[in-house]
Chains A and B, each alone.
Chain A
Amino acid sequence: MKPVVHVENVSYAYDGGNQEQVEALLDVSLKIWPGEFVAVIGHNGSGKSTLAKHMNALLVPTRGNVYVFEMNTQDESWVWEIRQTVGMVFQNPDNQIVATTVEEDVAFGPENLGVEPGEIRRRVDEALALVDMTGYEKSAPHMLSGGQKQRVAIAGVIAMRPRCIVLDEPTAMLDPVGRTEVLRTVRRLASDEGISIVHITHFMNEAVYADRVIVMEEGRIALSGTPREVFSQPATLRKLDLDVPQVTELAGQLQAAGVALSRCPLTVEEMADDIGTLLGRGPCRSELHSH
């Protein structure tokens, strides 16, 4: 199996004014595998957005190489192939919708690729169904909620048939409802459609659903592993100025108080199960949901 994106010893510096070079990335290496759901976390200025922009040639490394399959992002002749293979969803839902209706916007990418009209129609319908926006084809973007706009933006990327979607803090400007909608869509894409997902976020509880979590700090990868591996190190995370998910925090406090849980729980459901087991009542997931 070949990685979809291969970031190889990448450093990136930009001119910060006063002839000062700001190092945004320092010798970062990572591979994104087909169908993998990777969450990238880190506080502002940790380089996570810069890393994202390297994955579809919006930025080109100062040192090192980024490969999308066999294509090096340094080679300008591949740029459109690369951007079709690795799609990108941005933070502000308003500033990435181009057209005056939902269907025209979803069609924008395929139109740029020169796909023929009948096929565009098929892709638009399919993409809108995937993000649960069927029925909004003729709606004007400004009439939609933030979560809906962001799902339209995701549909616009899906319609280009990418192998990987990079989402750069797609939930940062949304309300809790919109955040849930978008997260549900993203998780479904990763599990059902086999599209690799790189989800950049600063919400820790969004990262727990990933296959792998990468923690960025000052342009480097500080920590990497499964969500359980990463979040079971609350002390390290705190040192990096990051929160841990609430349940993980609670588990840590229980541990300190002498209550030993069998694993490090990541979600409320897992926590409920663990506590139920501990109390000898077995997993109590259903009980939790009924409340």
Chain B
Amino acid sequence: MNFANAAVGQYMPGESLMHRLDPRTKMLVSLGIIIVLFVVSNPLAYALLAVPIVLAIAISGVPVKLVFRSLRPLTFIMVLTFVLHLFMDPGEALFSIGRITATDQGLRLGIVTVVRLTLLVLATSIVTMTTSPIAFTDGLERLLAPFARLGLPAHELAMMMTIALRFIPTLLEETDKIMKAQMARGADFESGNIAKRAKAMIPILVPLFVSAFRRADELAVAMEARCYRGGEGRTRLRELAFSGEDLAVLIVAGAYTVAVAVAL
């Protein structure tokens, strides 16, 4: 099994402006762009919204090929939605295959959806690729903090994300070990149909879950031994710092996005 694919959207260290920006700035700007993406339907608006995304990719110094690789897992969904729109939407007939007909409106809506999804994935990928996991969870925690008063467990969510990120490699390693142990005893994960292969995964998943629960238990004790008692009164090694650059980017990008939404 190749786990390298798990690296889509992974952090690429760097020193660019994109890397320096506060994670909150990046998240807010990309969220703004995404919201507007789904509000507007004018082709010109998409072109204008693509400008800051392309700019961000250029500034970040992250290889363009790597950014676009993050689209790959969504290819199937994009093709599917495009085809569904093309043939299922009402409108004037363009051509027919048997009893199903492609329509002009379907074609238009199909393209719109694909463009929207592409820009959405690119806008989020460039944020995750220039933000370290720690900065990302910190930013998320701080952004969600105002909602904590409404009962949203902001700190807990961020802590869960950190721990998940910490344990993904450990659990992948363990999966690999269990698979090898089962293969050494004659287990076959490669042949047979989907149902058979899914069934072959059970002897991997059961020990993996058992071990994950044991790990969670031990980790909880270790965290308590290190005085962890939730988010209250907690300080951070690296406090997020909202700089002048952040303010400038937020104002310019914010104004631009709002202008696009209002004008088109």
Contacts and interface: CB of A to CB of B under 8 A. Distances in A.
Interface of A: 56, 58, 80, 83-84, 87-88, 90, 92, 94-101, 103-104, 107-117, 120-121, 124, 140-142, 156-157, 160
A157 B226 contact: yes
Interface stretch (B98-106, B201-209, B235-243): B235-243
A8 to B, nearest CB: 22
Given A95-B214, A117-B239, 13 more contacts: A56-B225, A83-B226, A90-B221, A94-B215, A95-B222, A96-B219, A98-B228, A99-B166, A103-B237, A110-B237, A121-B237, A156-B226, A160-B227
A160 B226 contact: yes
Contacts of B134: 99-101, 104
A108 B233 CA distance: 13
A22 B173 CA distance: 37
Given A92-B218, A117-B237, A141 B166 contact: yes
B72 interface: no
Contacts of B234: 111-112, 114
Contacts of A115: 235
Contact of A94 (B133, B170, B227, B238): B170
The listed residue with most A CB atoms (<10 A of its CB), out of B214, B223, B225, is B225
Chain A interface helix/strand/loop/mixed = helix
A142 B156 CA distance: 23
B169 interface: yes
Interface of B: 133-134, 162-163, 165-166, 169-170, 173, 214-215, 218-219, 221-229, 233-239
B237 A111 contact: yes
A116 B235 contact: yes
Nearest to B232: A114
B227 A112 contact: yes
B227 A113 contact: yes
Contact of B238 (A96, A112, A117, A160): A117
Contact of B218 (A56, A90, A107): A90
A98 B237 contact: no
Contacts of B227: 80, 83-84, 109, 112-113, 160
A115 B238 CA distance: 12
Nearest to A157: B226
Contacts of B214: 95
A120 B238 CA distance: 9
B76 to A, nearest CB: 30
A58 B236 contact: no
Contacts of A156: 226
A96 B236 contact: no
A229 B214 CA distance: 39
Nearest to A107: B237
A108 B229 CA distance: 11
A164 B226 CA distance: 13
Nearest to A97: B166
B225 A87 contact: yes
A130 B219 CA distance: 24
